[in-house]
Amino acid sequence: MSLSNELVEASSPNKIDQIYQINIDLFTQAGVHYQAWQHEPILDFDTDQRISDELGITAAPTKSLFMKLKGGGHCLLLTHRDNRLDSKLVKSLVGKRVSICSNEEMIAAIGCEPGAVCPFGLPNHVTLLIDPVIYSYPELMFTPGKPEVTFAFASNQLDSLLARLTNQIIHLPVQQ
């Protein structure tokens, strides 16, 4: 059974709450154990690092880059927080040039707050690009829609989560 993200596509003032609930449902349905922490909102990398240190979170920080495709459409790159976008590689995989969305475009398209973009619970038309580097870390952490919550889970469970999504998923090639 795949998890449909139709709820997020509907216009609603509660998109962040919907994204959060979709994340909880996704982990529950996939049988993937996760840890959750509640804290002050994290909307930038410095706060992310400080909160992780204060709470003793040891999972690798992820980054979800939300991009628009030239000519229409969107994609999201899930990678490690410190990795950079290789736009030429992404273009070769999706067939179109990409650029980072403005905060306003992103909010309108997926409802996430800038700095708290979630890789799960996105509208079905958003293609997910998965950087293989994230599999090299034992655990991953991300914001499940709400910037004041952090989830962490074993990276070897990522494919179980992705398999339940209806989004197109493209794994980037391993870089030498």
Domains of the chain: 6-148+157-170 (3.90.960.10)
DSSP string, 56-98: T--SEEEEEEEEEETTS-EEEEEEETT----HHHHHHHHSS-E
Percent of the chain with pLDDT over 70: 92
DSSP string, 2-58: PBP-HHHHS--TTHHHHHHHHHHHHHHHHT---EEEE-S---SHHHHHHHHHHHT--
Q: Is the pLDDT of residue 136 over 90?
A: yes
pLDDT of residue 176: 62
Q: Tens digits of per-residue pLDDT, 39-83? A: 999 888 889 899 999 999 999 999 999 999 999 999 999 999 999
Identity of the residue numbered 59: A
